[in-house]
A = this chain, B = another copy of it.
Amino acid sequence: MSLPHIAADQISLPHVLAALGDPTRLAIVRMLADSGNAPIACGGFAEFGSKTNISYHLAKLREAGITRTEIAGTSRLISLRAADLDARFPGLLDSILAASGEAARAHGPLPIPATGVLL
Residues of A with Cβ closer than 8 Å to B? 13-23, 26, 88-92, 94-96, 98-100
A92 to B: closest C-beta gap in Å: 4
- Interface residue SS majority, chain A: helix
A89 to B: closest C-beta gap in Å: 4
- In the bound complex, residues from chain B placing their C-beta under 8 Å from that of A26 are 13-14, 17
Shortest Cβ distance from A13 into B: residue: B99
Residue pairs across A and B with Cβ atoms less than 8 A apart, 12 shown, are A13-B99, A14-B23, A14-B26, A17-B17, A17-B18, A17-B96, A88-B99, A89-B99, A90-B99, A91-B91, A91-B95, A94-B95
A33 to B: closest C-beta gap in Å: 14
Contact A94 B96 (CB under 8 A): no
Contact A13 B100 (CB under 8 A): yes
Shortest Cβ distance from A101 into B: residue: B13
The answer, among B14, B23, B90, for a CB contact under 8 Å with A21, is B14
- In the bound complex, residues from chain B placing their C-beta under 8 Å from that of A89 are 95, 98-99
- In the bound complex, residues from chain B placing their C-beta under 8 Å from that of A92 are 95-96, 99
